[in-house]
Amino acid sequence: MATLGIIRHGVTDWNDQYRTQGHTDIPLNAEGRRQAHLLADRIRSEQWQYIYSSDLSRALETASILGEASSIEIRVDERLREMDCGQIEGTTEQERVNRWGYGWSKLDLGIESHESIVKRGRQCLADLANRHAGENILVVSHGAFLSLTMKRLLSHIDIRENLSNTSVTHLHSGTPRWDCSLYNCTKHLT
- Active site members: 9, 82
To the question of whether residue 33 is assigned a binding role by annotation, the answer is: no
To the question of whether residue 97 is assigned a binding role by annotation, the answer is: no
> Is residue 53 within 8 Å of residue 77, measured between CB atoms?
yes
Q: Rg of the chain's alpha carbons, rounded to an integer?
A: 16
Q: What are phi and psi of 52, to 5 degrees?
A: -110, 140
To the question of whether residue 14 is assigned a binding role by annotation, the answer is: yes
To the question of whether residue 29 is assigned a binding role by annotation, the answer is: no
Q: Which residues pair with 105 in a beta bridge?
A: none
To the question of whether residue 168 is assigned a binding role by annotation, the answer is: no
- Cα 182 from Cα 105, distance rounded (Å): 32
Of 55, 57, 47, the closest CA to residue 10 belongs to 57
Buried b (16+ CB within 10 A) or exposed e, 25-36: ebebbeebbbbb
- Cα 98 from Cα 168, distance rounded (Å): 36
To the question of whether residue 9 is assigned a binding role by annotation, the answer is: yes
Q: Starting from the edge strand earliest in sequence, which strands make up the sheet with 3-8, in order?
A: 73-76, 50-53, 136-141, 3-8, 168-172, 179-185
Other C-beta atoms closer than 10 Å to the C-beta of 140 total 32
To the question of whether residue 121 is assigned a binding role by annotation, the answer is: no
Provide the annotated binding site for substrate: 8-15, 58
Provide the annotated binding site: 8-15, 58
